[in-house]
Amino acid sequence: MEVQHIVIIGGGTAGWLAANHIGKAAQLLPNVTVTLIESPDIPTIGVGEGTVPAIKQSLQSFGIRETDFIRDCDVSFKQSIKFCNWLDRHKHGDNNSYHHLFDAPSPLGTDLTPHWLSQFANQPNAIPAYSEMVSPQHYICEALKAPKLITTPEYGGKVSYAYHLNAAKFAKLLASNATSKFGVTHLKANVLDADIDNEGNLTELKTDKLGNLTFDFFIDCSGFESILLAKKLQVPFVDKSKQLFVNKAIVAQVPITEEHAIPPYTIATAHQAGWVWDIALPERRGTGFVYSDNHMSASQAEQKFNHYLGGKLDSLPHREIPMKVGYREKFWFKNCVALGLAQGFLEPIEATSILLTDFAASYLAKRLPQTMAQMPALSKRFNDTMTYAWERVVEFAKLHYCISDRVDSDFWIDNRHPESIPSTLKQKMMLWQNFSPLTDDLFSRFEVFNIDNYLYVLYGMKYHTQTAVNSDSYNQIALKQVAQIQQIGQSLAAELPEHRTLLNKINQFGLKTI
C-alpha cells in the first residue's frame, strides 16, 4: 500500500517545523499530500524561546529570508548562554558566571584547553574564565554587541549565532511559509479520536468540525497530550525524573522599552532548587522559574521568582507549567511518528526542545515512507537514532547539575548522588578527570552536543582535570594565541554595533540577501 496522504496533528513550533521539512520533501514525491490539523482552542505553550545555530540551516532551506524572520517574530540574536550562580558563591563569588558560547574554542589552530588547565591548576582564582581565554566571542557578548553588521549578508555573521524569538509569531511565519511554498493544507479542528485497523495502524481521525478524515501516515505534534502516540497507541513513557529533578516552571513575560539593552545571550541563573531563564526580545523579557517541587514548594517558588523580578510578579500575567520529564519508549510506532513535546520533554536548559524537534523533523523528512512495507525498517532506524539523541541530551543537561559544587540545598547535593547520574556520563566524567575532552570521546555523528559544548560547560564550571606537563614550545604558541584572541575579541567588540541598534536597523532597512 502506498503512502500518499500525510497528516500532522497539532500546530505550534513543532507542527509547523514538521510541515516545512516534510512539505518540502513531499514535493519530490508523486501524488503525496501533506495536511496539518490544528486545534483552534489550544494556545502555543512557548516554554522556551531560544534556539541553537542549527536552526539557521533549516530556515534557509525553507526559503525564509532572515530579514522577514527577524521582523515578523520579534527576534533578537543569541550567541551564548550565560550561566550565573551555578557554583558555590562562598568559593567563587556571589555573582559567579560563565559563557557557553556558540563559536568553537581555540579558533587559531592550537588547542588552548591544556594551557588553561595548567594556568587554572596554578592560579585557580587569578586566571581569565575559560571562554575569555579561548574565544573572541566572549568579548562580544560581554560588550552586549550584535554578531554581525547591517552590511553582513543574511544568515552570515562575524561569529556564530542563533536566535531568541516569539514562539507564537514564529509558528505563524512557519505556517504561512509551509502553506504558500510547499502546498501544505491547513485545517482547523479538534481531533477527538482515531480508528485503528487489524494490524494496529491508524486509519482515520475523528474530528469535531470536519467529521472523519482518512490518512496513510500520521505525525503527532499534539504536545504533552500526545493524542495519537501516547493516548491511542499506548506507547509507554520513559521517566527520567530520577536523573533530572526539575519538573515545574512558572513563566512570565516582562515588558521592556527601547531604553533597555538587549543581552545577546540567554541568562540562566541558578537558585536553590533549579534555575531561572531570562530571554530578552526587543519589547519583552521571557522569563521562567524552573524548579523541583520535591525540593521547593509552589509558594516558595513564587516568592523567589517574585524576588528575581523585583517584586513585579503579581502585576504580570503568569502561569505554572508542569513538566513530565522523559520521553516515549518509541517515537515511531506503526504508521505514527511523534515530534516535539509529543516525543517527550526534559527541561528548557540549552534550548533542547526546539533543537530536538528540528533535528527529528529534518531526519524524518530525509526518509519519508513511500509504502507501508517500508515502515518497519524506517521506524527502527528513526527510533534508534532518536533514543540515542534523547539519552545524550539527558546526559548533557545532567552535567550542568552534577558538577556544581553548590551545597546550599538538598537539590544540589542530591544532583551529585551517583545513582542520579547516567552511567555513560559517569564514564565520560571519569575519563575527563585525567584527560581533557576530545572529539574521539564521542561515538556517533548523531551527537546532539559536540565536544565544544562539553568544554565550555566543564571548564566554565571549573571541572578538575589532571594537568599534563606542557612543552615549552606549546606554552610559547599558547601564550601568543591567547594574546591574539584577546586582541581579536576587543577589536570585534569595538567594530560590531550594539545589539538593539542592529535590530532597529534591520527592521528599518533589512539585511543584504546572499
Nearest to 339 by CA among 324, 354, 350: 354
The reported pLDDT for the residue numbered 443 is 82
The reported pLDDT for the residue numbered 446 is 79
Tell me the residue ranges of DSSP E strands in 85-126: 97-101
- Report the helix count and the strand count for the chain, using DSSP H and E: 16, 21
Query: Structural domains in the chain?
Result: 5-76+163-238+325-388 (3.50.50.60), 102-159+393-495 (no CATH)
* Average pLDDT score over the chain: 95
pLDDT, block means (10 residues), the chain with 514 residues: 96 96 96 96 68 96 98 97 97 94 97 96 88 98 98 97 96 98 98 97 97 98 96 97 97 95 98 97 96 98 98 94 95 98 92 91 96 97 96 97 98 98 97 94 86 97 93 97 98 98 97 81
Rounded to 5°, the CA angle 349-79-64 comes to 95
Q: Transcribe 166-231 into DSSP letters.
A: -HHHHHHHHHHHHHHHS--EEEE--EEEEEE-TTS-EEEEEESSS-EEE-SEEEE--GGG-IIIII
The reported pLDDT for the residue numbered 45 is 57
In three-state secondary structure terms, 258 is coil
Q: Which three cell numbers, joined as nine digits, stand for 402?
A: 552534577
pLDDT digits 0-9 by tens, 35-67: 999 999 876 655 558 999 999 999 999 999 999
Q: Transcribe 290-349 into DSSP letters.
A: EE-TTTS-HHHHHHHHHHHTTS-GGGS-EEEEE---EEES-SEETTEEE-GGGTEE--SG
Burial of residue 41 (CB within 10 Å: 0-12, 13-18, 19+) is exposed
β partners of residue 462: none
pLDDT digits 0-9 by tens, 226-272: 999 999 999 999 999 999 999 999 999 999 999 999 999 999 999 99
Q: How far apart are CA 456 and CA 104, in angstroms?
A: 9
In three-state secondary structure terms, 54 is helix
The reported pLDDT for the residue numbered 3 is 96
Contact 304/289 with Cβ under 8 angstroms? yes
